Structure 1
Amino acid sequence: MTPVIKKFPVDLHIRVGYGTAFLLLLISFLLTLYANSELLKQARLVDRSNKIIIQMEGMLSSLKDAESSVRGYLLIRDQRFLKPYDDSKHITDSLFNALQGQTFVDTAIRNDLGILRKLIEKDYQIASLSIYNAAQQQELSDDQKEKSFVREEVMGHIRTLVKRMQDIEQARLRSRLDEMTTRYRVLNAIILLSLAVSVSLAAYGFITYSRENKARRIADEKVADYQQKLKQQIAELDTANKALIQMRSIEKFASTGRIARTIAHEVRNPLTNINLAVDQLKIEIDGNTQYGEMLDLISRNSIRINQLITDLLNSTKFTELVYKRISINRLLDETLELAKDRITLNNITVIKYYSDDICDIAVDVERIKIAFLNLIVNAIEAMEPGNGILQLRTASRDNKCFVTITDNGPGIDTDSQSRIFEPYFTTKTKGTGLGLTNTQNIILNHNGHISMDSAKDKGTTFIISLDFA
């Protein structure tokens, strides 16, 4: 009972420890998942900022290449110098479109990109016009020189605008890198903290389980020890109870013998006087048939009374025994042979469960046969002819020889069981009621014990224990 009671708080501690650890790990996992998603988001933003800065740098470099290409052409008037200029247009357009895609939701940058677009277009218009004018004239005119100054001014605005946009993205990049670093540190702190707490709780659960399990194991051992002691005490009480029952049976048997001897003495004295008076009356009324028959009736009943008293005395007194060593299995077989006619007549099935390695017993063979025969005959008479099953079993236990005789008859009711060995008590319509009394007398004379186990409609079993030789 103690282990069962202690089990609940132990299991509760373990469940709380491991449950809390699991919950913290789950929370840590969710926080890690959220932090990772935020890190990925910041990483995308950082990547976008880097791309914007690089694309702006590339666009500015392309414009510088275009400017150098135009200057070279204006000075040398060689068409080959215009190739970088033509390529820069495509490069600038491609980079500008990419920047528009990168800054789709960025209003401030998009406004600057709009201004930048106009400045770039103006720059290319001036450059195209300068190239056209140069193609028509061999030397630079004052107008071309003026437009060159204007173009340089436009390029200055473009550089300023690009620089401002790059500074904005650089500031954003630094902010996002700082935020990524902070989030990464927080994430690591969360992971380490949750791992430490989880390990601590797991260790707490394990230590608690080990400690409580040890206490429970000790309690279980104590309970098992108490149970073993209780079983031993029950076995000792059962043995003492059986000894007490046997002692009471012997005392009851001895008391019955004393009462029987007293009754025999008190009855036989007047019975002897009656017999003497009857004999005297027979002499005096010699030849009177009517009175002679009446005196014969008195004489026959007197003899019957005397025989009943003799049987009672014989069944309740200790007699001298002639011991002989014999196998219990052989003894039962010889007894069955004496009841063979009854067994055949009633079509009884006999089943033997003999122990092969059982030792011999030392008994008065003829008297023990009488005891076993009484039990076998009673069993045969109790069973229904044609359906009876008689079982005989021998076994060795506790240094004693046990014989069990079982029938499948109607059984004996509870009230009759307590009186079954009493003289003149019988449940049969015919019988003196001295058979089981005599059987008990024989078993007790051999320092043995006889008991009965029966239930209504479930048959009857007699158990006899005898000492080995």
Structure 2
Amino acid sequence: MKYTLEKIKNDSRIKKGYLTGFVFLLIACLITLYANRQLIRQSARVAHTHKVISILENLFSTVKDAETGVRGYLINHDSSFLQPYIGSNKSIDSMFNIVKEQTSDNELQQNRLIELKEKLNERYNILQSNIDIYNRNRKIIVDTIFIQQVKGKRIMDDVRNLIGLMKKQETDLLTGRNKLLSHNFRTLNSIIISTITVAVIIVVFGFITHTKESKARREAEKKIITYEAELKNRIADLHKANEELIQMRSQEKFAATGRMARTIAHEVRNPLTNINLAVDQLKGEIRVPEENTNFLFEMIGRNSYRINQLISDLLNSTKFSELSFNKISINELLDETLVQAEDRIKLINVEIIRNYSQNIKNVSVDKERLKIALLNIIINALEAMEGRAGSKLVIETKEEEGKCKISISDNGPGMDEDSLSKIFEPYFTSKQTGNGLGLTNTQNIILNHKGDINVSSKVNQGTNFIIRLNFA
């Protein structure tokens, strides 16, 4: 026995094998840390580029709204049309300063911003001049206004071209950064897989070598435990990196949805405004309306209002809004949310199971906004379980990895993979009623709180929503 132990002790191959494995793991750990840092840094650059593009789109949209408002005032003699114009100047200055700060390291973009500022000032001077001329001439549109409108159109074309050039450059930057981000992620995966492979080889080598003697086997088992722990750490790092990438893609998809919504809103509201203006003019010109004229005018008005409301709902569900943060117990907030759904809970006869952590810390949130998000999830779960025997809604809170984790689970019919992949998309719904914006708004609220939301579901097994928030 003593001879065997001494042989193992002096076996240089075993020593070299473990030393090589240790060095490899150490190097892999350092490379993983470096790759993680690069991944986080590149993610921040991608988010920065998205922000610049979004602000440029908002800036141009604001100028167009101001221009439309002044045009509406000149046509209809109604000062309420000037509301978009009155507040737009300060908004544009604020957005301009943000873009200037965000692109401070780009000389070409800074030069374009100077030119853009001059064009915007010229356009606003023309708009204000048209208003003044219109008011001085007893609200009559004179030739001078038409001349200035032509000049203003040329300036707006210049503004559109400048913003288009700036967006193109930012889009090119975004493409390059996305490619680099994907490359960094693939590199990180390769490193982790290689580390896992080598770790497994070393574990197997140690196990086979030390099975010859019981004491040697026990020593090998200790090393196996060590390597398994390292393996779990690498797997945990990979899982964390995957979750961060999924969350980043979710935010990117949400931002893209918001940009699309703003584009649709802009393209729809302009002709909608023209329709309303035309209807108002027709009402004024028809002195003796026919039998169905007023009914048709009312029909146009109702449907115009409905379209405008749908656009407003879509914009509200996909934009980042200001929140009023206060410290509150997440358990109390969930109980208050359940009280709002109490009538429906009793009607459907659902059993509520509360698995609250009693020692969980407070969170800093906008109470009413977060309550809306939680209520959307709970109402969806209740409606999914309606008419099913033994319905249960399980709500759990606990601290996990330094964050507040909220789990809301039901034992309803669940969803297939196709529905699950579209669950946060605007206007997607499997219900006969509803506009499909509830969960889009819920995701928006959670992202506004710098949290994340994930959902898992299986057909006939129920659905589970996981929300993670930062503690106060």
Change (3 A) 1:263 1:214: same
Q: Give 2:440's aligned residue.
A: 437
Q: Give 1:236's aligned residue.
A: 237
How far apart in 2 are the matches of 1:351 and 1:209? 51
Q: Give 1:278's aligned residue.
A: 279
Deviation sequence 1:272-303 (CA, Å, 0-9, x none): 00111112222333532313222222221111
1:411 aligns with 2:426: no
Q: Give 2:365's aligned residue.
A: 363
**Residue of structure 2 aligned with 1:426, choices 429, 454, 457:** 429
Amino acid in structure 1 at the alignment position of 2:261: A
SS at match of 1:461: strand
Q: Alignment identity in percent? A: 60
Change (3 A) 1:210 1:295: closer
SS at match of 1:309: helix
For structure 1, the 5+ residue unaligned runs are 1-207
Q: CA deviation at 1:253?
A: 0.7
For structure 2, the 5+ residue unaligned runs are 1-208
Amino acid in structure 1 at the alignment position of 2:229: Q
How far apart in 1 are the matches of 2:470 and 2:210? 56
Amino acid in structure 1 at the alignment position of 2:355: Y
Higher relative contact order (CA 8 A, sep 6+): 1
SS at match of 2:467: strand
1:66-145 map, 5 Å: none
Amino acid in structure 2 at the alignment position of 1:278: V
SS at match of 1:289: coil
Q: CA deviation at 1:334?
A: 0.5
Change (3 A) 1:274 1:230: same
How far apart in 2 are the matches of 1:235 and 1:452? 20
Change (3 A) 1:429 1:213: same
How far apart in 2 are the matches of 1:221 and 1:355? 36
SS at match of 1:443: helix
Q: Give 1:216's aligned residue.
A: 217
How far apart in 1 are the matches of 2:211 and 2:238? 40
Amino acid in structure 2 at the alignment position of 1:388: S
Q: CA deviation at 1:210?
A: 9.6
Deviation sequence 1:417-460 (CA, Å, 0-9, x none): 01100111111111111000000000000001110111000111
Q: CA deviation at 1:391?
A: 1.2
Deviation sequence 1:47-97 (CA, Å, 0-9, x none): xxxxxxxxxxxxxxxxxxxxxxxxxxxxxxxxxxxxxxxxxxxxxxxxxxx
Amino acid in structure 2 at the alignment position of 1:396: E
Deviation sequence 1:195-246 (CA, Å, 0-9, x none): xxxxxxxxxxxxx999633443444334333322211111111111111111
1:261-272 map, 5 Å: 261-272=262-273
Q: CA deviation at 1:321?
A: 0.4
How far apart in 1 are the matches of 2:435 and 2:392? 25
Amino acid in structure 2 at the alignment position of 1:225: T
Q: Give 2:350's aligned residue.
A: 348
TM-score by length of 2: 0.53
Q: Give 1:192's aligned residue.
A: none
How far apart in 2 are the matches of 1:274 and 1:287? 19
**Residue of structure 1 aligned with 2:319, choices 300, 305, 317:** 317
Which structure: larger Rg? 1
Q: CA deviation at 1:397?
A: 1.1
1:184-199 map, 5 Å: none
SS at match of 2:292: helix
How far apart in 2 are the matches of 1:464 and 1:214? 48
SS at match of 1:330: helix
**Residue of structure 2 aligned with 1:451, choices 451, 454, 457:** 454
Q: Give 2:305's aligned residue.
A: 303
Contact residue 325 and residue 366 of structure 2 kept, 8 A: yes
Deviation sequence 1:334-389 (CA, Å, 0-9, x none): 11111111112212211111111111111000000000010011011000346321
Contact residue 325 and residue 364 of structure 2 kept, 8 A: yes
Q: Give 2:86's aligned residue.
A: none
Q: CA deviation at 1:412?
A: 0.8
1:461 aligns with 2:464: yes
How far apart in 2 are the matches of 1:211 and 1:290? 100
1:142-157 map, 5 Å: none
SS at match of 2:454: strand
Aligned length: 262
Q: CA deviation at 1:398?
A: 1.0
How far apart in 2 are the matches of 1:358 and 1:321? 23
How far apart in 1 are the matches of 2:415 and 2:343? 25
